[in-house]
Amino acid sequence: MKNDFVFYTRKNDKIDLSVYGLENIGKNPAIIFAHGFKGFKDWGFIPYVGEYFASEGYCVITFNFSHNGIGSNQEQFTEMEKFAQNTFTLEASELNQIIEAYHFGFFSANTHKDVFLIGHSRGGGISLVVTRKNPTVKATAVWGCLARFDRYSKRQKEEWRKKGSFDVLNARTKQVMRLGVGLLDDIEKNKTGILSLRKAMRRIKRPLLILHGEQDLSVKVDEAECLYEWGHPETTTIMRIPHTGHTFGVVHPFAGSTPEFDMVLHSTLQFFKLHNQ
């Protein structure tokens, strides 16, 4: 069963959330899922993830970052100006605020003291940034996670500043989605600080699972190897999923799971069970 909520951040930005297994909220740590770039809470496998972990006794919180481009139409990118104004530090702040809201009884007064995080792609990087600083995150799983937020060449950055924006094609919707200079400023200001995933990995000493498709063309498996190399060997585990890519063979609209994605789900479930003590 799914319950929908609306949350307003400290900046008064609206966040739409869907919670699966609300009846499980005090039984186990809540699982909070962070979507990636050009992602949203109702994309492809995300509702299926919610239902899967809810059936295993967990409460799962999925949400749209406030500036991900999704508005009242939960399936279409209609808020392109907000999308252009998004930053990585804004997303990290929002994930922290959702964790805080959970602990303060926004969803239910009956909560668990810990949370688990799952982050896909860029959402994995945001989850690592938050895990580094937030002690209530007991364990984190990242799927197809990037190893760096700074993914742009010097020439691209020069053109970005000259034009005032950087255009990205959404291959699925065929929309040209504009990134504002604020995102570039965020990268350059914070890439050696809060947005350094190398520093985050070196300082995270809680359980961390890295799952990555060996044929991922969007975020190559080399980035998973970097994360693992930077992490603490006693708390960090890596699993390479063969014969699959960035979304583990799952598409949007959702047309069913795949054996590779089933492996991702099962491995993540066993990881959380192991650390749910």
Helix (H, G, I), strand (E, B) or coil at 251: coil
Cα Rg for the chain, rounded, in angstroms?
18
Which among 89, 32, 45 has a CA at the least distance from the CA of 66? Answer: 89
* Domains, in order of start, for the chain: 2-149+196-274 (3.40.50.1820)
Contact 15, 8 (CB under 8 A): yes
Question: 208-213 and 137-143: which strand pairing?
Answer: parallel
State pTM to two decimals.
0.98
**DSSP letter (8 states) at residue 63:** E
DSSP string, 81-145: HHHHH--HHHHHHHHHHHHHHHHTTSS-S---S-EEEEEETHHHHHHHHHHHH-TTEEEEEEES-
Beta bridge partners of residue 5, listed in sequence order: 17
Tens digits of residue pLDDT in 139-177: 999 999 999 999 999 999 999 999 999 999 999 999 999
Tens digits of residue pLDDT in 41-83: 999 999 999 999 999 999 999 999 999 999 999 999 999 999 9
- What confidence score (pLDDT) does residue 1 get? 87
In the block, residue with structure tokens 């890519």: 245
